[in-house]
């Protein structure tokens, strides 16, 4: 057998094993998902900030000279007859609404938190709430807006996690928005009863929530000092996948001007037919008659029961469903056909992304062992790597994350500037204990939330804080201008298929050319060939 054939079989087998692990996680081992030296633009601390948005008045709080508004409903509670419907408008209120406490997180199964993100707190089906941090509530402030989309495999997480506190980014002069969206089978669901009510209707309800949150931002962010014509969407893991889905979605056009995708993954989306089979299994799991369950019965079933459906045949996580109006076709197809939003994009990943499969109970070394003799074909792509665990971690990282980032960036470069990055700076006191920056490990540097993340509170060093200052500056300048070019920092040039450029955030920040070129070209070529082969078989 030729070496090229061996590499194809090895990579495809490993990709299939890892993708299967991520698509079919073990119960209760699901991931959550899980800077600044600029002049503050706060006019002056305002006790009990009061603003008026489209639905009524909001009373926020001041935290470290930043005005914070928590638990703002951006859509009606998706309960009762509104379960598995597109998000509906919020009813107006007459009195001043207190916005000093986060709303409940969407229903989700219990899981181990990633990167010290912490617990999500109270759960409810009434969970469509947004939170805003702003340094200036003047209507004419026109500050750049950064809307964060949390990760968690489309199954877990919340915009209220302490790791995502927007205070430090807001100090730079941005308005920060976080929000919740429907998760698991309450957020991504297909069933014959739904198709009967709305033929070819929505399936990605959580994605529709994200679009509704952006529509709410367009309508209301000026009241918080933000510029609705300068909105950056950014997110990690499933949040990064959401950023790409919003770039690809016809329903999200004009709702944002740029995006940042942190650790997006190349796991295929589900066709509607598969999603419907999963929906039938979910109906059976909550005690109904599978495919024969009525919509009335499904909507009358307590939400807690749906959150507990975490067996392998009952889950769509961590992928979207293709074939509804929000996501008509696979994300990668849209990018490769040039149909995505023509907005600047930052995309990249971390040095040890394989931690996410370990959260699913998968051992990277065992994946390599299961390849048998075929693993020999992989080794020339990783010179000097002899340990199966290390090889497995690096291959998983590159197949599912690094190669996918390159594929998206190469395709998108024809539409708009595409900036690739690789995050390898590991907090100093974690060195020796971790082989690299884990899945979600860059978030604390983007938000500079060391003091709010239990994992980092006692170990953060001055060097770690300095790196957060620099990373946050790149993210903020990109949001402000569309170009990640903070003063006195290395120039970050866009990457194209012909001119490969990757900014490495390591012990030094430096632009790399031809980054992992040989192996990534092999993987991208193999995955493209595999995609064409699968398309022919449909």
**Where in the sequence numbering do the catalytic residues fall?**
237, 353, 439
Containing 273, the helix (H) or strand (E) segment is: helix 272-285
| Angle, CA of 170, 171 and 174, to the nearest 5° | 35
* E strand residue ranges, 204-350: 226-236, 258-262, 270-271, 321-322, 345-350
447: helix, strand or coil:
helix
Determine contact, residues 204/321, Cβ cutoff 8 Å: yes
* Ordered DSSP codes for 148-182: EE--STTTS--TT-GGG--HHHHHHT-EEEEE---
* E strand residue ranges, 429-537: 501-505, 509-513
- Does a cis peptide bond (omega within 30 degrees of 0) precede residue 318? yes
Instruction: Please tell me the distance from the alpha carbon of residue 401 to that of residue 393, in angstroms, as a whole number.
Output: 11
Instruction: Please tell me the distance from the alpha carbon of residue 257 to that of residue 448, in angstroms, as a whole number.
Output: 24
Burial class (CB in 10 A: 0-12, 13-18, 19+), 20: middle
3-state helix, strand, coil in the chain (%, to 5): 40, 15, 45
Q: How far is CA 362 from CA 16, 18, 355, in A?
A: 13, 8, 9
Q: What is the DSSP letter of 389?
A: H
Instruction: Please tell me the distance from the alpha carbon of residue 144 to that of residue 128, in angstroms, as a whole number.
Output: 23
Instruction: Please tell me the distance from the alpha carbon of residue 297 to that of residue 277, in angstroms, as a whole number.
Output: 18
Containing 406, the helix (H) or strand (E) segment is: helix 403-412
Determine contact, residues 111/29, Cβ cutoff 8 Å: yes
Which residues have a Cβ under 8 Å from the Cβ of 395 and sit 6 or more positions away? 11, 14, 364, 368, 378, 382
């Amino acid at each position: 057998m030729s070496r090229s054939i061996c590499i194809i079989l090895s990579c495809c087998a490993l990709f299939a094993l890892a993708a299967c692990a991520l698509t079919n996680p073990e119960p209760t081992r699901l991931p959550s998902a899980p800077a600044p030296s600029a002049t503050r633009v706060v006019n002056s601390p305002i006790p009990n900030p009061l603003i008026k948005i489209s639905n009524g008045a909001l009373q926020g709080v001041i935290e470290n000279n930043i005005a914070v508004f928590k638990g703002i409903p951006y859509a009606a509670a998706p309960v009762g007859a509104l379960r598995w419907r597109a998000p509906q408008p919020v009813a107006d209120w007459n009195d001043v609404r207190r916005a000093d406490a986060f709303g409940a997180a969407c229903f989700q199964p219990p899981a181990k938190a990633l990167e010290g993100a912490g617990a999500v707190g109270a759960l409810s089906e009434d969970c469509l709430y947004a939170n805003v941090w702003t340094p200036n509530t003047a209507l004419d402030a026109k500050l750049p807006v950064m809307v964060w989309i949390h990760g968690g495999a489309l199954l877990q997480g919340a915009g209220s996690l302490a790791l995502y506190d927007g205070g430090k980014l807001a100090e730079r002069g941005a308005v920060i928005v976080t929000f919740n969206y429907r998760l698991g089978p309450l957020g991504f669901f297909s069933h014959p009863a739904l198709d009967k009510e709305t033929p070819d209707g929505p399936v990605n309800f959580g994605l529709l929530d994200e679009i509704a949150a952006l529509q709410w931002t367009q309508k209301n962010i000026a009241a918080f000092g933000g510029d609705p014509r300068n909105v950056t969407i950014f997110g990690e893991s499933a949040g990064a996948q959401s950023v790409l889905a919003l770039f690809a979605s016809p329903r999200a056009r004009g709702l944002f001007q740029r995006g940042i995708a942190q650790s997006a993954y190349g796991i295929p989306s589900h066709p509607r037919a598969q999603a419907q089979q999963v929906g039938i299994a979910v109906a059976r799991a909550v005690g109904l008659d599978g495919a024969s369950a009525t919509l009335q019965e499904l909507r009358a079933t307590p939400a807690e029961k749906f959150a507990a459906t975490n067996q392998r045949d009952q889950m769509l996580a961590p992928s979207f469903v293709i074939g509804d109006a929000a996501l008509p076709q696979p994300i990668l197809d849209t990018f490769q056909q040039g149909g995505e939003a023509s907005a600047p994009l930052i995309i990249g990943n971390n040095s040890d992304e394989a931690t996410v499969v370990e959260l699913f109970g998968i051992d990277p070394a065992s994946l390599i062992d299961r390849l048998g003799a075929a693993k020999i074909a992989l080794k020339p792509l990783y010179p000097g790597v002899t340990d199966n665990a290390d090889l497995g971690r690096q291959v998983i990282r590159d197949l599912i994350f690094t190669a996918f980032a390159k594929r998206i960036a190469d395709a998108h470069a024809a539409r708009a500037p595409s900036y690739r990055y690789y995050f390898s700076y590991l907090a100093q006191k974690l060195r020796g204990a971790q082989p690299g920056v884990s899945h979600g490990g860059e978030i604390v540097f983007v938000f500079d939330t060391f003091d709010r993340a239990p994992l980092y509170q006692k170990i953060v060093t001055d060097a770690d804080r300095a790196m957060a200052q620099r990373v946050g500056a790149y993210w903020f300048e990109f949001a402000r201008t569309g170009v990640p070019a903070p003063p006195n920092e290395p120039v970050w040039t866009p990457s194209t298929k012909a001119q490969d450029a990757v900014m490495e955030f390591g012990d030094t920040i430096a632009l790399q050319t031809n980054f992992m070129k040989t192996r990534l070209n092999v993987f991208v070529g193999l995955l493209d060939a595999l995609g064409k082969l699968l398309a022919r078989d449909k």
